[in-house]
Amino acid sequence: MHISEGVLSPAVLGAGAALAALGVATGLKRLDYDRLMTVAILSSAFFVASLIHVPIGPASAHLVLNGLLGVMLGWAAVPAIFVALALQALLFQFGGLTVLGVNTFTMALPPVLCFYAFRPMLSGPSRLRGGAAFACGFLSVGASALLTAAALALSGEEFSAAARALLLAHVPVMFAEGVVTALVVSFIARVRPEMLAFTSTAHG
């Protein structure tokens, strides 16, 4: 899912960096100091969850859970994902400085959209919760894969085949993400329902 350094065109890198900067700035502005520690602790939990590899047939994929992260953190998800990607770059050298912007944008835009689309359904006493949670996981990973593929395809004609293959490879991952997100939400709803009502930002 992470594009490595040295692949994308300057225009795509620049646009990604600018959009990510805008998102991070918005997220930080809405995050007050009182909730900063809570957001940090939840981000570390999401980071650890993303280290879980679930088997999908003969292959395996690591969890992303970025849709759920977005539902819980709102706009604060953008700086949280930026930090997580920076830590991944420092720890595992996945991604890197120049692609940090593009990767942040592709991973963080769907969660913010999920926040507006699914938050009411997940935190309310809704019968739709399971379906909404599945959609949240399924769509956010799908949208991230789509944006990543777009970033590749926009970098040059020669990348379009790779971009299509990347998108195709993510279809089983989308289903796995949807199922696991629905199960995680059901776990939280049963064990600690207050958590689904947590707001990380002062206004939305």
Partner 1 sequence: MLDEPFSRGASRLHLADPRCKLVAALAFAVCAALLRSPGPAALALLTGAALCLWARLPLPRLLRRLAAVNVFVAFLWLFLPFSLPGAPLLRIGPFPGLPDWLAPNWLSLTATDAGVAQALLVTLKSNAIVLAFIALAGTSDITAVGHAVARLGLPDKLALLLLFTWRQLHVVAQEYHRLRTAAKVRGFTPGTDLHTYRTYANMAGMVLVRSFDRAERVGQAMRLRGFAGRFHMLAEPAGRPGDRLLAAVIILCAAALLAADILQPLAGLP
Partner 2 sequence: MSTATTPPNSGQPHNCAHAHAHDHAHGHGHPHPHPHSHSDDDATPPLAAVQDIHFTYSGSAEPVLRGASLALRPGRRIGLLGHNGSGKSTLLHLLMGLLRPQSGRVLHRGVPLVSETRKTREADFVPLRREVGFLFQNSDDQLFCPTVLEDVAFGPLNHGASPAEARAVAEATLERLGFAGFGSRVTHRLSGGEKKMIALAAVLAMQPQALLLDEPTNDLDPHTRDRLIAILAAHSPTHLIISHDWDFLAHTCDSFLTVQDGAVRTATHTPHTHVHTHTGGDVHHHHG
Report if residue 160 touches partner 1, rule: CB under 8 A.
yes
Give which of 136, 135, 127 is closest to 77, Cα–Cα.
136
Q: Give the 3-state secondary structure of residue 16.
A: helix
Alpha-carbon separation of residue 140 from 31, 67, 117, 156 (angstroms) = 22, 5, 11, 25
Give which of 46, 133, 118 is closest to 82, Cα–Cα.
46
The helix (run of H) or strand (run of E) holding residue 81 is: helix 77-92
The 3 state secondary structure assigned to 179-196 is HHHHHHHHHHHHHCHHHH
Site string for partner 1, 161-180 (x = CB under 8 A): xx--xx---------x--xx
The helix (run of H) or strand (run of E) holding residue 60 is: strand 59-62
We find the least distance from the C-beta atom of residue 158 to partner 1, in angstroms, to be 4
Report if residue 191 touches partner 2, rule: CB under 8 A.
yes
We find the least distance from the C-beta atom of residue 55 to partner 1, in angstroms, to be 5
Give which of 111, 102, 100, 81 is closest to 148, Cα–Cα.
102
Report if residue 7 touches partner 1, rule: CB under 8 A.
yes
Applying CB under 8 A, among 15, 19, 26, 83 the residue interacting with partner 1 is: 83
Distance (Å, whole) CA 152 – CA 13: 10
Applying CB under 8 A, among 169, 192, 197, 204 the residue interacting with partner 2 is: 192
Number of residues forming the site for partner 2 (CB under 8 A): 6
Applying CB under 8 A, among 6, 125, 127, 203 the residue interacting with partner 1 is: 6
Report if residue 29 touches partner 2, rule: CB under 8 A.
no
Using CB atoms within 10 Å of the CB of residue 178, give its burial: 0 to 12 exposed, 13 to 18 middle, 19+ buried.
buried
We find the least distance from the C-beta atom of residue 201 to partner 2, in angstroms, to be 20
Choose the stretch contacting partner 2; rule: CB under 8 A; options: 9-17, 85-93, 151-159, 187-195: 187-195
Report if residue 183 touches partner 1, rule: CB under 8 A.
yes
Report if residue 190 touches partner 2, rule: CB under 8 A.
yes
> How is residue 116 written in tokens?
């507006």
Report if residue 18 touches partner 1, rule: CB under 8 A.
no
Report if residue 113 touches partner 1, rule: CB under 8 A.
no
Q: Which residues in the 36-75 window bind partner 2 by CB under 8 A?
A: 37
Q: Which residues bind partner 2 (CB under 8 A)?
A: 37, 186-187, 190-192
